[in-house]
Each structure stands twice: as structure tokens, then as C-alpha cells.
Amino acid sequence: MPPSASRFAILACCCLTASCAISSNARKSTEQAPQANNPVVGGASLAMTALRSTALATVREPVTTATLGVAVLWTRPHEALVSNIPVDLPEPPQVAEIPGTPEFERLLDKRHLPLSQKGSIKWLVDGKNFFPELDRKIAEAHKSIDIQVFIFDNDDVATRYADTLKERSKSVKVHVLFDDLGSTFAQLSPPDTPGPAGFTAPMNMASYLERDSKVRARRTLNPWLVSDHTKLMVFDQQCAMIGGMNIGREYYSEWHDLMCCVDGPVVTTLQKDFSRSWHKAGPLGDFATIFRKPDFFRKNHASPDDISLRPLRTDPVAGQYQVLKAYLLAIRSARTRIWIENPYIAHDEVIRALVGAARRGVDVRVILPAKGDSTIMDVANIATERTLIEAGAKIYRYPRMTHMKVMLCDGWGTMGSANLDTLSMRINRELNLAFRNPEAVAGLEKQVFLPDFRTSKRISLKDTESGIAPIAAKVASQL
């Protein structure tokens, strides 16, 4: 790849990762500077990321690179066209099946979404609940620890977890997989709160994890600047954690976020998913499925209390847009309520579906952050808020950054890594879980939505007056 193309890739990264939970709004005080790479180191890291995203990805992942190129070249013009149509497009008729019913589950099966599998689920709200559970899982692992995140930061929290994993690698197999582009950008921005005195961030987290340890660390490559936004952690092939949290201080103590812990047969599927991602990120790349030795996975048995859990993916390489398909089906079939908490709502199809639901009398409530981590998405959210309020929806602004990606439609819910933007719906790789169990749904009501409605400020149409929000929304429809 010529140097000019690499420079273009670096500049484009700044725009295309705007909605990927990279803390671009973090303060840059001298007290915080040791929590992130300095500009010289950061610039070199970005250059290497651009090189890996272009030259290395083309050699190692030719099929992925070609497939993603077609997907991106289709998605970008399509989204630009849809967002600029001057008239309202007709909304498809309401789906007959009601979310939360067996009929709706059969509809999802008929639409070729992954089949539900048995498992248990435990909600972990915020870092204060997730990270202690993560500590326990890491400490109790007997055979393997497999961690995939979008961001493995290099602040004091991430470094502490790197040290813990290095220590555990003496007795168990430890694999760490993180997105190259996402982590590189995150390591340029310090968190809002200062770290301990004297701390200096490691310059290269992959090297730091492997230094003087048996940890194996890999980066997912980013052909066409496409990222793997998945957050998935599997322990001993028995227990898994998925959701919205990465490894870093923002998730530990600053942001409002959600993970869940699952057990049961569904974990085998999640373990297989991690294994495919891990091998693809290795030296063989796309050829790993042909030349690598087959993996052997533990078979987990269901317990009487297990519920049905449906894994959902966005994966353009595999032609999978399951998260978007499930979201639209649920929104278009909802009868009583649609409750959403998400940092970004910029996908035009989703917005139109929400408008249609609000107009037919569904209780549509949306919680967005009062101030997020991306300025352009914050402004674009204002345009979305106005559109939804005009349709009859209730919009709330959470007082700090909420990074949750969760929705309840009647008696059906979904949560995971996917934002409601074009990147998560069409371009980046994502992982969600869907469920209809009444106890799981009630748990999200009590632990997430009801407290957050009370904490958040409901806004009026007057609060959405902005001359630049419509322009930002046009840009955000590409993000």
C-alpha cells in the first residue's frame, strides 16, 4: 500500500470510529497524561495499525478483505441515499406475532436467525458488579481463560488486569484477543479520572501481555477500517460473559454499562465463536479453517432452571445481519412497550421503525447519554430525539455516559455489544443475546430501566432545538 493510502487510512480512522466507544472527550490534563500513549508513540501505533489494516490484512485475510470491501461499498451509498430521501418512506405493516410469545420465537426461527439454546443468565450492572465477578472467574479458572474485547486499554485498570492474566497464565491457558483499531485509538485518550501517582502506560499492550508470561495475545485486523466490536469472555468452556464492557478505567468506574454472565449449553456455541475469531486473527488468517487442527469443545449440559437464549450476530463477512433483523422485527411487532438504552441511535431503518411504533400508540422510551464519548454522535442524537418526540416517544438523558446496549419489546429483550448505528447494524462485527424469559426481562426492568428512568431527565421538544443537529445526523448515518 503506498504511503499516501496509509495516511488516508489513519485520517479516515478518526471519522469512522466515532461511535465505537473510544473516549475522544476525555480530558487531557498533565495529571492524566501517563494514562495514555504520548503523541509520538500514538502516531507510530496508528501508522502500524494502518499498515496492518491494509497490507497485512490483504495478505492474511484476502477473502475477508474482498468481502468487506463489497459490503462497505454497498452499505455506505445505500445509507447515504436513505438518509437523504426528502419524503417519509412507508413503514412495513405491523408484524402479527407479539414479542415474548412462542409465536414470535417461531417467527425468528423462520427468518433464519440462530436457534435458541439453553443457558442461565445473570445481570452485571456497572463496573462495580462486573469487575469483581470477572476477578472471581479469572481466579477460579482451572484450564482456560479466553478474552475478546474491542478495547484492551493501557491505563492502570487495564494494566492491572494484564498483570493478573500474566500471573494466571502460569497455570492455565490464557488467550487475549482485542481489536487493533479500537485499542490503538483508546490508548491515545486518557480516562476522565487520574490514575495512581507514578503510573506509566505500557506502549504496546500485546507485547506487555506476552512479556515474561505464557499469555498469547492477538489483534483482530481492520481491513477497510472494519472492526470487531465483540465483547466475549469464556472460562473453562463452562461460563461466558458478554455485553458492552471493555477492559479499562472508563468501564471500571466512570461509565454506566451492562454485562451478563451465562452458563449452560449456549456457552459451547460462544466458545466456538471465540475459537474461530482467535484462529482467524493468527498467522493463517482466512486459511485457518482449512489448515488448522480441529478444536474439541466441552459439551455443557442444561439444568432444569435454564432459559432459552438466542445469540445474534452482525458479521458482514458471513452475510449475517441478525441483530438488525431481530431489532426491526421486535420493534415492528411490539404492542405495549419499547424501552431502549443505547449511546447512539443513528440507523435510519431503526429510527423509522421506532417512529412507526410511537405513532401507533406503543410506549416508546429511549435513554441516551446527556454527554457521550463522541461529539458528533452527541449532536446527531439531538436530531434523533426530536424526530422521536414528534412521533410521541418519551426521551430521557442519563446524567453521565451510558454505554448500555439493551432493549425490551413487550416480553422480549436483547443486550450485547451492538449500538443502534450503521457500524453496528451493517459493518462491524457484533454479538448480542436475545431472550423472552419473564424473570430475565423483569431483572432488566428492575436493575436497569426503572432506576435509569428515575435518574434520567425526560426532555421536551424545546430541548432538541439545534441548527447543526440535522447536519450531524446525516454524517452519523454513515457511522
**Domains of the chain, start order:** 1-60+127-255+266-299 (3.30.870.10), 87-115+310-476 (3.30.870.10)
pLDDT average, residue stretch 237-261: 97
8 A C-beta contact, residue 249 and residue 236:
no
8 A C-beta contact, residue 377 and residue 478:
no
**Average per-residue pLDDT in the chain?**
90
pLDDT-derived band at 33, boundaries 50, 70, 90: low
What is the C-alpha to C-alpha distance for residues 165 and 159, in angstroms, rounded to an integer?
10
Q: What is the pLDDT of residue 95?
A: 85
Which three-class secondary structure state does DSSP give residue 363? Answer: strand
Q: What is the pLDDT of residue 124?
A: 98
Percent of the chain exceeding pLDDT 70 equals 89
pLDDT average, residue stretch 458-471: 86
pTM above 0.75, yes or no: yes
- Give yes or no for residue 183 having a pLDDT over 70: yes
Percent of the chain exceeding pLDDT 90 equals 74
CA atoms within 13 A of residue 193's CA, in its CB half-sphere: 11
pLDDT tens digit sequence for 46-76: 999 999 999 999 999 999 999 999 988 888 7
pLDDT-derived band at 86, boundaries 50, 70, 90: low
What is the C-alpha to C-alpha distance for residues 163 and 386, in angstroms, rounded to an integer?
46
Task: List CB contacts of 296: < 8 A, sequence separation 6 or more.
Answer: none
Residue the block writes with cell 469472555: 233
8 A C-beta contact, residue 160 and residue 135:
no
Inter-helix orientation angle 39-51/3-16, to 10°? 110
- Give yes or no for residue 2 having a pLDDT over 70: no
What is the C-alpha to C-alpha distance for residues 39 and 309, in angstroms, rounded to an integer?
44
Least confident of 38-42, 212-216, 279-283, 369-373: 38-42
Q: What is the pLDDT of residue 388?
A: 97
Q: What is the pLDDT of residue 10?
A: 40
- Phi, psi angles (nearest 5°) of residue 133: -65, -40
pLDDT tens digit sequence for 384-443: 999 999 999 999 999 999 999 999 999 999 999 999 999 999 999 999 999 999 999 999
- Burial class of residue 48 in the structure, from the number of CB atoms within 10 Å of its CB (0-12 exposed, 13-18 middle, 19+ buried): middle
pLDDT tens digit sequence for 327-361: 999 999 999 999 999 999 999 999 999 999 999 99
- Phi, psi angles (nearest 5°) of residue 33: -50, -40
Q: What is the pLDDT of residue 291?
A: 77
- Give yes or no for residue 459 having a pLDDT over 90: yes
CA neighbor of 288 nearest in space, from 69, 65, 63: 63
Least confident of 59-73, 101-115, 168-182, 371-385: 371-385
Other beta carbons less than 10 A from residue 167's beta carbon: 13
Other beta carbons less than 10 A from residue 259's beta carbon: 26
pLDDT average, residue stretch 73-80: 78
pLDDT-derived band at 27, boundaries 50, 70, 90: very low
> Which amino acid appears at position 439 of this protein?
E
State how far the alpha carbon of 472 is from the alpha carbons of 161, 327, 377, 467, 475, in Å: 37, 24, 7, 10, 5
Q: What is the pLDDT of residue 247?
A: 98
pLDDT-derived band at 472, boundaries 50, 70, 90: low
Q: What is the pLDDT of residue 4?
A: 38
pLDDT tens digit sequence for 255-297: 999 999 999 999 999 999 999 999 999 999 999 988 777 777 8
What is the C-alpha to C-alpha distance for residues 144 and 238, in angstroms, rounded to an integer?
10
Q: What is the pLDDT of residue 198?
A: 87
Instruction: Pick left, alpha or beta for residue 416 (phi over 0 → left; psi -120 to 50 → alpha; otherwise beta).
Output: left
